[in-house]
Amino acid sequence: MDIENLLIFLAIGAVAGWLAGLITKGQGFGIIGNMVVGIIGAVLGGFLFSWLGITAGGLIGSLVMATVGAVVLLFAIRIVKKA
């Protein structure tokens, strides 16, 4: 992975975290926290999609995959915080 791909990955993760914060109203961690969750969620989303046998290509597919991962991560964090 070169620096350009890394920057694109981080940007997609940041946008996905922001979107996940909007989707899970009241479940976010602020703009910076949601961006970090989005970056981690992008990795989680890639794992989940590959585990389910779903492929997502291109910019939009990557954004959807990262957003789904970030939403799942936000829900998991919320469950752990309540316990």
Q: Region of 26 please: left (phi>0), alpha (psi -120 to 50) or beta.
A: left
pLDDT at site 27:
59
pLDDT at site 83:
66
pLDDT at site 26:
66
Instruction: Let me know if residue 24 belongs to a domain.
Output: yes
Instruction: Let me know if residue 5 belongs to a domain.
Output: no
What CA–CA distances, in Å, run from 5 to 10, 52, 69, 80?
9, 24, 19, 32
Domain carrying residue 51: 11-82
Question: pLDDT of 19-55, one tens digit each?
Answer: 888 888 765 677 788 788 888 988 898 899 989 998 8
Instruction: Let me know if residue 40 belongs to a domain.
Output: yes
Instruction: Let me know if residue 50 belongs to a domain.
Output: yes
Instruction: Let me know if residue 6 belongs to a domain.
Output: no
Q: How many domains does the chain have?
A: 1
- Prediction pTM value: 0.85
Question: pLDDT of 57-83, one tens digit each?
Answer: 888 998 999 999 999 998 888 889 886
